[in-house]
Amino acid sequence: MSGMFLSHTPRILIIGDQGQVAWELKRTLAPLGEIIAAGRSSSPVSIDLTRPDLLQEQVEKIRPDWIINAAAYTAVDKAEQESDLAMAVNGTAPGLLAQMAKRLGAFFVHYSTDYVFDGTASSPYTEEASPNPQSEYGRTKLAGEKAIQVEGGEYLILRTGWVYASRGHNFLRTIRRLSREREELRIVADQHGAPTWARHIAEATAHIIARASINQELRRSCPGIYHMTAGGACSWYDFACRIIDYQRRHEPVLTKTISPITTNDYPLPAPRPRYSVLDNTKLRHTFGIALPNWDVALQQVQEELLLEKI
């Protein structure tokens, strides 16, 4: 294995700042270099992905060795009406960041989504599967992937899905709250994916950066798209049941019944893929990474929440 000693402390620019994955990245990547976290309202460093006219100047001032784009327009339903804004953040900005990374000699890491697929498959999607997004959100995220690929250079596109964490707005926290407020919950049972803990995404990203930083051959050969989700799969109904089962054993819960419903019973503006399980084989073969099964990770998060009494 070829390698090198770093002659300086790498500068790692994390774009997204307060998002679920970005928040975990700030902690996880700290041993690997100087962390510069930036968002629209961050201080002292601000980066606004809706302002392409300022983006180049903002990034060039920092001159990072690694650019990690954990920012995105993630309001899936709202994107149906705000497609231009979603495209600016999810589609246009990633291409500009990839262009700047190439010019600065930086490595670019970008997160994408399982929503680039239409959900008609019956087995996990590989990276070679043809995307066919059904929502504006999915279409804008696919546009971002394509823009990065056009620029080329050293980049990773990491597709993930069903992301949750102990903080922020996500399914885990919503179900925990509702379990204290409602006797019955009605949860969609005909959509399947792999709930993925934001911390495991951050830790896997740190592993990749650490390996690519000392192995130049890997750094040159690894650019491309990789799937990065928890192992296994479940429905939203299964996910909710597991969350509340754990709560019942450790704290008062009002919910007595969890009823499975269909997607048609809970219509939303943006269509969701019925099946968006991703195949993570390429990630394991290239980097030696395999995220734990979704239920194992969920228990870890809930144990942490119990200790913190959140």
Active site residues: 137
Does the residue 118 lie in any domain? yes
Q: Contact at 8 Å (CB) between 124 and 159?
A: no
Amino acid 308: pLDDT: 77
Range of the domain at 82: 11-164+196-231+278-291
For residue 243, how far is the Cα from the chain centroid?
21
Any bridge partners for residue 186, and if so which? 259
Does the residue 176 lie in any domain? no
Amino acid 168: pLDDT: 87
SS3 of residue 95 by DSSP: helix
| Weakly modelled stretches of the chain, pLDDT under 70 | 1-7, 42-43, 310
- How many domains would you assign to the chain? 1
pLDDT tens sequence across 61-109: 999 999 999 999 999 999 999 999 999 999 999 999 999 999 999 999 9
Does the residue 74 lie in any domain? yes
pLDDT tens sequence across 112-123: 999 999 999 999
Amino acid 40: pLDDT: 80
Does the residue 120 lie in any domain? yes
Does the residue 244 lie in any domain? no
pTM attached to this predicted model: 0.94
CATH of the domain at 64: 3.40.50.720
CA distances from 27 to 206, 211, 214, 217 (A): 10, 18, 21, 27
Among 276, 140, 139, CA closest to 195 = 276
Among 120, 122, 124, 123, CA closest to 133 = 120
Does the residue 92 lie in any domain? yes
Does the residue 306 lie in any domain? no
Does the residue 156 lie in any domain? yes
